[in-house]
Structure 1
């Protein structure tokens, strides 16, 4: 297993928490609205081939919350700043859910942010038939029920959810939730201008979705593919919104084959 370290990096006058591990070319991992769960099994697998950077977004975890980061476009600006500062431009990247939306915004802004991108269950584009589930009007336990299709097949279930959160963990989760609301509210979890802006993108992109995704409808995989010329789509069967957690081995195999 790769030895991950936790670092604090100053970016734009704010401290950013970053987990880093593995060896090889850089691979930037952008977490979703639920927060940074750290170097889980999928990240360990990716770290066998790459140096994995797994930051906690501003306002998440131990990262500072800059007052000027109030939208996904602001967050994308912050991360391009981070890339320039740390020499991480033109790298491979994977974004999960809200992190997939973040990666897509970065793609739409600059052609040299990434060399290859994987979008996994990405928010950011409004579905035409279904809707993105509103995670802010239900409890965290209800959100969890929507995220995973079959908890019995999640290898790290007990480690992630087997005990009640400590007061510190509960406070952090509430802070993460507040930041997610700040970034993604009105319009909720999408940018109506994003599909048009993605027409400029020529970076190789692979779109991955769980077939039973109950948070972001699988139809959004097709909408992303329509917006991103030449992109590929992989739909993982018997899987919910987080294939990297629910089916980490299958996800890692798909990711390593693409990257």
Structure 2
């Protein structure tokens, strides 16, 4: 897990990047302008910063230069913008930015840039199943919201033989109609997945959020999207 700072004056961008990176297992802090970014950098050490170029108080390139001059550019910085010119991107790279992402940022490019940045910082996690394999790239960076931990348990348990793998696969398929479009089959699995955890945790949203690795607001939105009955066995917490 890495500590990542996201700096962007657009609330929607901050929330979306935070959800994606949290689902990847990272710890994320948010700043909506350069002032908050300075405060966050002074208070904490980050493994990576995602920095918007155009902000209302101080632009991202100027902030990057401040950090470089003050000796605070000790982490990889990925610049983001939907209006930057090539000259701006070159200038940011010359100052010390690791890379540049043009908005709208596709999920695939975001995850790749973050992975490369963390690898450069020497803080990339050991190779493992990643939530990036669950997401499907779309222009709005949406798709399946299940983290990697949502894999079917019987499929990730150690198996000692081909027969064991075959039995596990059959077990995983039981109760699901696989003869339908992928999106419908995935939604069916996700609904069953969340209903299982809700029932097991007695409807406690706090514990379900912890078990599934989703932030509570994100979890509520996902459950409503899937049509999960929140009234049944629901309780506070």
Task: State the TM-score, normalized to the length of structure 2.
Answer: 0.35
Hey, which of these two has a bigger chunk of helix by percent? 2
Higher relative CO (CA 8 A, sep ≥ 6), structure 1 or 2? Answer: 1
**Larger-Rg structure:** 2
Hey, which of these two has a bigger chunk of strand by percent? 1
